Chain A
Amino acid sequence: MGILKPITEWATSPWGQSVPIHVAWFLIWVAAIAGLLFVIAHAIYVRYFAKPSRFGPDSAPVILAQIPEHVHRHSLTARIFHWIMAASMFTLLFTAFLPRVAVQFDWVTYHWIAGAVLTISIVFHMIHASFFLDFWSIWPDKIDLRDAWRRTQRFMGKPAPPPERFAKYPLENKLYHGIIIVAGLSAIVTGVFMMSRVRSTFFPRNPYLFSDMTWGMMYVLHGLAGVGLIGLITMHVYFGIRPEKRPITKSMIFGWMSRDHFLEEHDPSRWVIKTAASSQAPTEALPED
């Protein structure tokens, strides 16, 4: 518990017990600055230090020839989910932190409404992505890990074969998504419990659902997830507007990416897409995408 003391605020409960009540608010600035520093450091690195990426051999020409001009990447459902989730996420962050650092306004109701929207959208996403999309595409596989090792070796100047092109998502995306799961679900689960502390349409109000200590830890977890998300979202938006990533961002709006961009970094045998000549395509079953 002691490790939490510098980053949390504590109070004395009515029974004289020392309990945490929320994160220390300076963490907002820590997160914002950390996000900003990452952005700056990454931009500088890419601009001045990064070597152009080198991948392993291309796929066979016959396969390459079958890649259509517009490569379908995100379905309409997936896109709608993403932007609703993004809107609610921004609303949550602004209503949570703006009153704390700048302008005070009536934020609580908007916050839990946005939270409800986020919760529903995430529940939807978990079901949709697991059963209607390619569930495995977002999790690191053996090749990712092998290639990560190889890329590290090459970065340090040691000899190693070049990595393969990515499946739908590079390892960085998958790891980021993993962290988002942790931060997002922490915020959502604690947030759902916190709905019993306010007057809403969902639950009858019961501020004593848990003990003071449990509630305190929940608020701390909610706050840590929240400030963590400040940094994470900063990073995500940054990557979204980076020039080399813009085609991907566009695909989240329009649903497709160009053949050229697809061929740069993606491996059609790892990310199997719908092709024009699917009847002549390799015999693997095509998952819906």
Chain B
Amino acid sequence: MAVIRDVMPAFELLQPNSITEAQKLLEHHGQEAWVLAGGLDSFDWLKDRIKKPQAVVDLSGIEELKGVRATGDGIEIGAMTTLTEVVNNPIIRQKYGLLAQAAELVASPQIRNQGTLGGNVSQDARCWYYRAGWPCYRAGGNICYADTPESRNREHAILHADRCVAVNQSDSAPALIALDAKFVMRTPKGERVVDAEDYFIGPNIDITRLHILRPGDLLTAIRLPSAWADAKFYFEKIRDRNSWDFPLLNVASAMMVSGNRIERIRVAVNAVAARPLRLKAVEDAVRGKSPSATTGEMAGALAVHGAVPLQFNAYKIPLMRNLVKRAIGGVEEARWAS
């Protein structure tokens, strides 16, 4: 029988007006519901007819999910705020520039105009075997096509792989972890708030999703505490092209430096594992030291400890080492080597 990959399968389109209504709909439809934010992830699945939910819950009409508001301690960003809005927001630019930098490097301007912050952190894996609809572990099957001696796995994981070797490729996620963000969800049991790094899970917990949302849950907002406002930030994204591409690797760090000593620091990387990794060991190792290239080199070597390369992604090890080094010590002036 021919496999048709054209025209979205039929679904019931539900367009709630409030968070409460949306959460109830998601709870009611359970496994058969699909959350539609900006659509940049959803439509790929639906148009390829690989995922066929019975009900799609469109969040675009829910005003309370949009916008940036000041809170008692920092700001709260609605999950449906577009990436362009995040990039252009004056408070974020001024005080939480790390997030603006990261959001601005996501994809392309058109995608940022439509894509949301909540969607960016909740995006699904982009492993091309998974996205082609092959029945791998992540799709409910019992094999990983990317983890074989010959398979094409240049973008896949070097750390914490557990049967599935796909990576999380969100750019805003490591920035939010570095800013100690809190993710606010509405669940059947009411509101639930988790630290940014706890929003993401690896295949050892559940191999079919990258985040902790269960059927009936809705990510409503992301809060940035004032503790890391105005810190010294570093963000770098490595990708093949200068636009549109997912990261091969990215790093985000927030540092408080005083008297040439690192007082407090948070470092996170993404696209090396199925979830963004907060590098606690690196943070502990560099605290109290000067933010120099030497410290950075030590931190980089520590960060890649335990990395396991696959056939085509060994380059991620020196790349991660160097990016962590830069996050601590900055980018050295270019020295002509010839």
Interface of A with B (CB < 8 Å)?
A: 9, 11-14, 16, 18-19, 21-22, 104-106, 108, 197-198, 205-208, 215, 219
Contact = CB atoms under 8 A, between A and B. Distances in A.
Contact of B141 (A11, A105, A108, A198): A11
A14 B135 CA distance: 8
Interface string B132-170: 111100011111110110000000000000110000000
A225 to B, nearest CB: 15
Contact of A215 (B142, B147, B204): B142
A14 B141 contact: no
B135 A12 contact: yes
A205 B142 CA distance: 14
10 contacts: A11-B139, A16-B1, A16-B2, A21-B135, A106-B162, A106-B204, A108-B163, A205-B148, A207-B145, A215-B143
Given A197-B142, A208-B148, A12 B133 contact: yes
B148 A207 contact: yes
A18 B148 CA distance: 22
Given A207-B144, A207-B147, 17 more contacts: A9-B140, A12-B133, A12-B135, A18-B1, A21-B141, A106-B162, A106-B204, A106-B205, A108-B163, A205-B147, A205-B148, A206-B148, A207-B145, A207-B148, A208-B148, A215-B142, A215-B143
Interface centre among B1, B139, B142 (most CB of A within 10 A): B142
A21 B135 CA distance: 8
B133 to A, nearest CB: 7
B132 A14 contact: yes
Contact of A219 (B3, B133, B142): B142
Contact of B205 (A14, A104, A197): A104
A208 B148 CA distance: 9
A14 B3 contact: no
Contacts of A198: 163
Contacts of A197: 142-143
Nearest to A11: B135
Interface string B213-253: 00000000000000000000000000000000000000000
B32 interface: no
A188 to B, nearest CB: 18
B3 A12 contact: yes
A208 B143 CA distance: 9
A27 to B, nearest CB: 16
B44 interface: no
B191 interface: no
Contacts of A215: 142-143
A11 B52 CA distance: 13
Interface string B171-210: 0000000000000000000000000000000001110000
Closest 10 CB pairs of A and B: A11-B135, A106-B204, A21-B141, A14-B134, A104-B206, A16-B3, A104-B205, A207-B143, A219-B142, A207-B148
Contacts of B132: 14
A21 B162 CA distance: 19
B31 to A, nearest CB: 12
Interface centre among A18, A208, A219 (most CB of B within 10 A): A208
A105 B140 contact: no
A22 B135 contact: no
Contacts of A108: 162-163, 204
A91 to B, nearest CB: 17
A9 B145 CA distance: 19
A207 B144 CA distance: 8
Contacts of B141: 11, 21-22
Nearest to A194: B142
A18 B143 CA distance: 15
A13 B145 CA distance: 11
A279 to B, nearest CB: 61
Contacts of A105: 204-205
A281 B204 CA distance: 61
A53 B24 CA distance: 59
A219 B144 CA distance: 15
Contacts of A206: 148
A21 B137 CA distance: 10
Nearest to B161: A199
B18 to A, nearest CB: 31
A123 B156 CA distance: 39
Nearest to B139: A11
A13 B140 CA distance: 13
Contact of B145 (A11, A14, A22, A219): A14
Contacts of A9: 140
A58 B140 CA distance: 60
Contacts of A219: 142
A16 B4 CA distance: 10
Contacts of B143: 197, 207, 215
Nearest to A208: B148
A106 B163 CA distance: 11
A137 B1 CA distance: 53
Contacts of B163: 108, 198
Contacts of B140: 9, 11, 21
B206 A13 contact: no
Interface centre among A18, A19, A21 (most CB of B within 10 A): A21
